[in-house]
Amino acid sequence: MNARIFAGAVLAYGYNHWVGNFPSRRVREIYLRGWLGKLGAKSGVQMGCRFLNGRKVFLGERNVINFGCLFDGRKFSIRTGSNVSIGPEATILTLGHDPRSATFADRGGDVVIGDRVWIGYRAIVLPGVTIGEGAVIGAGSVVTKDVQPYAIVAGNPARKIGERSIGKTESGNAEPMPAGAGWEDCLRQPSGQDERERTSQKLKSECGNFEGIFPDGRGFDYELDYQPWLL
């Protein structure tokens, strides 16, 4: 084992077993900014997440990575866009084995996740997949192939079950989502019923109807909602 591989193993062990379970967002952020390929501004990684090779993980701005997620990063990279939300215990893989190979040879590829993608609880994204802007991945889905922008997919293997109308022109072509519409709006913590209702209406007008994803029209952040002492 050369020095570079050993150093990488030490960094991975340090985060996955110690720092990643430390109840301080600031401490985790400092470590990840020095280890990951990129940690975008205003992005947060909750406790219990694991990175097999942080140097090949590139997280965009305003990402929410919920607790217990696994990011592979072995040999191939993982890149996320802006305003991405990844649900608890989701898994993003970049390396596996060829089932048709007599020796189960390695097979993998880069994973690219576009802007404003929402990946549900315990979903699995397999190597080489690209998820287009604004797509929604249902909870527990296994994504084996590319997902088109604004598509809603679910199942094992994941199949298209719907499509988001937000960001579409009359011709059916994708257009940029409205300025200011992003997951940072969805992650606000309304302080009262009136503000909560205003936030819900704002989300529906700018981000589309999130009912069924965000039951009361706001974002779900496990640490913000249930563990405020971790902030």
Catalytic residue numbers read 97
Which of these, 51, 59, 60, 53, lies nearest to 20 by C-alpha position?
51
Tokens 């608890």 sit on residue: 88
How many CB atoms sit inside 10 A of residue 97's CB? 12
| DSSP code for 122 | T
Q: Residues 6 or more apart from 77 whose CB is under 8 A from it? A: 37, 56, 57, 58, 94, 110, 111
| DSSP code for 83 | S
- Partnered with residue 160 across adjacent β-strands are 153
Task: Measure the CA–CA gap between 16 and 196, rounded to whole angstroms.
Answer: 36
Look at residue 107 and give its three-state secondary structure: strand
Here the tokens at position 157 are: 């293997």
